[in-house]
Copies of this chain bind each other. A is one copy, B any other.
Amino acid sequence: MIDKTGLFDYHETMKKIELVKIFKALSSEQRLNIFIMLYNWNQTTSDATADCFCSEEGVEKCFTKACDCMDLSRSTISHHFKELENAGLITCTRIGQSSVCKVNMDAVKAIREFLE
C-alpha cells in the first residue's frame, strides 16, 4: 500500500479493474443464472437429467438450453455469454454447430482471494 487509501498502486488498480469486470458480469440476474447453470452443469458432467451434452471439455448446446430456461432472445443470450467470457468467467469454443462452454475456475479463485 503506497498511499493512505491503498487505491493508487498500479497492480492493485489492474486487479481492481478485473474485479469490476467480474462483478459487473455477475450483477445481472440473467447472467448470474447463466453462470450458475454452467457451473452446475460443469460439476455434474454425468447428470442424466440434464438434456445437454456434458463432457470433460464443457457443456454443449448451452445457448439453446439457456434460451429455453430464461425467455430471452437468442441475440440477448449471445450478448450475455460474451460478457461472461470477456470478464474471464467462462470460456466458449465452438464444436460443430454448438458452443462448448466452461467455467473458468481461476476467475472464481480470484474473487475468493479478494475476499480474504
Contact = CB atoms under 8 A, between A and B. Distances in A.
Interface of A: 1, 4-7, 16-17, 19-20, 23-24, 26-29, 32-33, 36-37, 40, 49-51, 65, 69-70, 108, 111-112, 115-116
Given A115-B108, A115-B111, A7 B27 contact: no
B16 A20 contact: no
Task: Kindly name the residue among A7, A49, A50 whose own CB sees the greatest number of chain B CB atoms within 10 A.
Answer: A7
Given A33-B7, A51-B4, A27 B23 contact: yes
A19 B4 contact: no
Contact of A36 (B7, B24, B37): B7
Nearest to A107: B115
A108 to B, nearest CB: 5
A16 B40 contact: no
